[in-house]
Structure 1
């Protein structure tokens, strides 16, 4: 899953004599891994909760609506919190809030779907604070010229988390679920249905309590770690005093739309994968088996980001983005129009195309903003709310036309990303473009 850009001011690391960046970068990379794992577990829980509470697709997508809606609501307050506490204490706060969100899954198993949605929101709020605190370290722990490449590398470990998450969830949550079909559950009396629902919901309690404990331990270790102090450059006042705003740059505005649609398309595909692979004309898989293939989807992004770490040093960002968008469009269309193994592997291969999109769009959108870079980062951060809106739209379409045709929503998302990549293919040579 894509990492959130920092919405606060430009930052610099206070130099420490004899210090190296390797240790701090490893610590921050662990955080990237953890929030990737937590985010991708949603792809396992959505079909699980859908079956437990007999939801339609639109209702099931409320999980992503609450989760990614937190990015939009919490990002700006998180920036203010980080400015008050500092980056290291802010990361600890984010970890503890995320641990609390995981802990809420235990009572949610008895409290119903609404409490699950609240737990998702609290968990995502913690992750948002964590990301806002952690990202500046990636940008300053090395030369500025290779910041985008370094961000791609750390996001590779974020992708490792998203790869591990679904497989882990499949083993710990879906493997313990009942094998009863929806018709068999419907045939039970009221008491039997209630007992079945309680049993199925309880399968999430143990794994999420373990995650809560892991996050709390990580918070303690992070609090004790010796990280370089990061100071705000005196950019906030400069930005506020300078003429105009980041929104005057057309490539930033279009980049924010591209981030919105990229995150939305990526999350939407992951959210529907288990159900897509369960379609009789695709693979007819059980949810537990399909969960392992969700890891293949996210694993493609992992592989692609390691490749992108090297390729993006020599290839034009816009051209690389456009090529990946074309490949994604072709693959999703094959998944929509095809069937069987061809459709299955086509949709899974989209993960490889997603790999470089976020860091590439992010760096292109902020190119040449100068004093407005901090404000532009905040705008891009809020655009991640696409992960809440686009799956919701696909859920509505799936309820009306079916799961397979609903994937035209991601096709439209990648279509705009293709346009953005082609329009600004040579942005690094042309400079910033104002509206």
Structure 2
């Protein structure tokens, strides 16, 4: 490794991280679209995960295309980093604008195609921006620079779901989103859940009666179906009102009946024009995004970002002119690590709305999902802001103070943003305990990429297990959400380990790694497939629902990530590459 302690090129780096913000904004917004599309297009959980699949499979295809072209000509050296970035941004803008005709047609596959094109553009941007961020200064602080850029990415993931949630559902209602009253009896809680579902269906009927675009016969047929469900809800509500001292078995019976009615509600196919009307609000945020992509592309072309010198790419000569990933175990194991890391990061949150919608986790409806999505992605912001501190040339004592202060500033931004959107997130305050645990682990990991990855991988395993077994579901959900904290520094750690010693083949290696973002489309499908067992087997497994049990998938993923963090430094050491902690005047 080069020991040259060159300074970070801040003016150039700050221009670059604008791109990281948009990646986060769109990726997190997908988690709001998933339950919306699931509802209006009448999808199963695994079908709804095609949203993530379309977005992340584009990274794979885009990276394959990039690599094939680069075999004949080095794109980054021929066209330059700035121009390649601009092309990726324009491509993403095209995909964002396609949301307009997709919403007008109310066609799920059209939406997937639009997301695919956005992701295709992002794949080009990722291939360029990640190695460029690492090269904008000292190699020893490359991973921390990428972590800082990831912190800006996570600011986008925190704000994205809030703004998209406002665009789709309007400002929040503090009373509606407030934590459950702990003084309510079990039967009172169930009665409230009946009333909430009734209110949702009643709202749909009011809107259906205003529908003048669809076939009246189809509208009346749907109204009759919805009214039948409301009548069944009223019957049960009246029964509960006369049975306020219901025992546990009776409460369970009422809950089961509610589950049956909700299942019937999710199977209602609404008239096409009615669906179009409910999806039209999707257009606005993506029009704004498309325009922003174009503006940033223009900004990039005129920015002061310099392309890394060609000589830098040629510093380490390879024994063969032909590049093979099998010559570098750190790379092919890292490819699997990226596949699994992106997969678990996306899968935890894209299946969380389905988990929170279950009775055991409170039956949270679509319009109240955004704060939880924001907290999850905000957890990555907390972690990345914490890791990004290591980039700055500050004293060891200042660094230590900031390691405690900055995560809570980030947490405060999450709370403030959700509060300003009209949501009651007072229940989130308990999450401070998870943040403290994260800070302690970050000190143990230090600046050693392998050690940190191993520790956080083990922490991820523990959190997922606790989420599965903890009896209080109001607490259990935070164990799952904390997966965001422990995923936060994994990307730069894996990336830094995987490209170590690649020299002039860094660009090719980067395209292979970005290719593996495909995991974000595959692993959520697997977890979603397990969730759907609840339809055929509503009794669940081992006393919990299949949706809850599906979080065994993240456990398996975190185990491999911990292994990669443990094994790769040893592999690199055999190659004469030391990835240990570097000491400098800043620490």
TM range (shorter): 0.7 to 0.9
Question: For 1:227, which of 295, 305, 310 is the aligned residue?
Answer: 305
Distance 1:85 1:353, change over 3 A: same
CA contact (8 A) 1:62 1:117 kept: yes
How far residue 420 of structure 1 moved from its aligned partner, in angstroms, is 1.9
Deviations 1:61-85 (A, max 9, x none): 1111111111111114346454543
Q: Which residue of 1 aligns with 2:33?
A: 45
Q: Which residue of 1 aligns with 2:350?
A: 271
Deviations 1:124-164 (A, max 9, x none): 11111122232343122211221111111111111111111
How far residue 306 of structure 1 moved from its aligned partner, in angstroms, is 2.3
Structure 2's unaligned 5+ residue stretches are 1-5, 70-74, 173-198, 209-220, 225-267, 391-441, 535-545, 578-587
How far residue 336 of structure 1 moved from its aligned partner, in angstroms, is 2.5
How far residue 22 of structure 1 moved from its aligned partner, in angstroms, is 2.0
User: Cα RMSD between the aligned structures?
Assistant: 3.0
Question: For 1:329, which of 461, 480, 498 is the aligned residue?
Answer: 461
Deviations 1:377-426 (A, max 9, x none): 33222111111111111111111243211111111111111222233355
The CA distance in 1 between the partners of 2:338 and 2:452, in whole Å, is 16
Q: Which residue of 2 aligns with 1:125?
A: 120
Question: For 2:476, which of 343, 347, 352 is the aligned residue?
Answer: 343
The CA distance in 2 between the partners of 1:122 and 1:246, in whole Å, is 28
Q: Which residue of 2 aligns with 1:93?
A: 87
State how 1:39-78 maps to structure 2 within 5 Å.
Answer: 39-78=27-66
Q: Which residue of 1 aligns with 2:22?
A: 34
Distance 1:333 1:196, change over 3 A: farther
The reply to whether residue 164 of structure 1 matches residue 159 of structure 2 is yes
Deviations 1:173-216 (A, max 9, x none): 24489944899798437996323311222120111111111222
Deviations 1:18-44 (A, max 9, x none): x99222111101111111111111111
3-state SS in 2 of match to 1:334: helix
**Segment of structure 1 superposing worse, 109-118 or 393-402:** 393-402
The CA distance in 1 between the partners of 2:300 and 2:331, in whole Å, is 34
Aligned residues: 416
Q: Which residue of 2 aligns with 1:142?
A: 137
The reply to whether residue 361 of structure 1 matches residue 494 of structure 2 is yes
Distance 1:176 1:361, change over 3 A: same
TM-score normalized by the length of structure 1: 0.87
The CA distance in 1 between the partners of 2:506 and 2:8, in whole Å, is 27
How far residue 331 of structure 1 moved from its aligned partner, in angstroms, is 1.4
Question: For 1:420, which of 551, 560, 564 is the aligned residue?
Answer: 564
Distance 1:329 1:181, change over 3 A: farther
Q: Which residue of 2 aligns with 1:386?
A: 519
The CA distance in 2 between the partners of 1:192 and 1:243, in whole Å, is 57
How far residue 113 of structure 1 moved from its aligned partner, in angstroms, is 0.5
Q: Which residue of 1 aligns with 2:102?
A: 108
The CA distance in 2 between the partners of 1:226 and 1:366, in whole Å, is 26
The CA distance in 1 between the partners of 2:494 and 2:281, in whole Å, is 38
The CA distance in 1 between the partners of 2:561 and 2:451, in whole Å, is 11
The CA distance in 2 between the partners of 1:372 and 1:28, in whole Å, is 22
Question: For 2:549, which of 396, 400, 405 is the aligned residue?
Answer: 405
Q: Which residue of 2 aligns with 1:247?
A: 326
The CA distance in 1 between the partners of 2:87 and 2:503, in whole Å, is 30
**Segment of structure 1 superposing worse, 239-248 or 139-148:** 239-248
How far residue 238 of structure 1 moved from its aligned partner, in angstroms, is 5.7
How far residue 373 of structure 1 moved from its aligned partner, in angstroms, is 3.8
TM-score normalized by the length of structure 2: 0.65
**Segment of structure 1 superposing worse, 70-79 or 408-417:** 70-79
The reply to whether residue 212 of structure 1 matches residue 290 of structure 2 is yes
Distance 1:432 1:65, change over 3 A: farther
Whose Rg is larger? 2
Structure 1's unaligned 5+ residue stretches are 1-14
Distance 1:133 1:280, change over 3 A: same
Distance 1:84 1:306, change over 3 A: same
The CA distance in 2 between the partners of 1:428 and 1:315, in whole Å, is 17
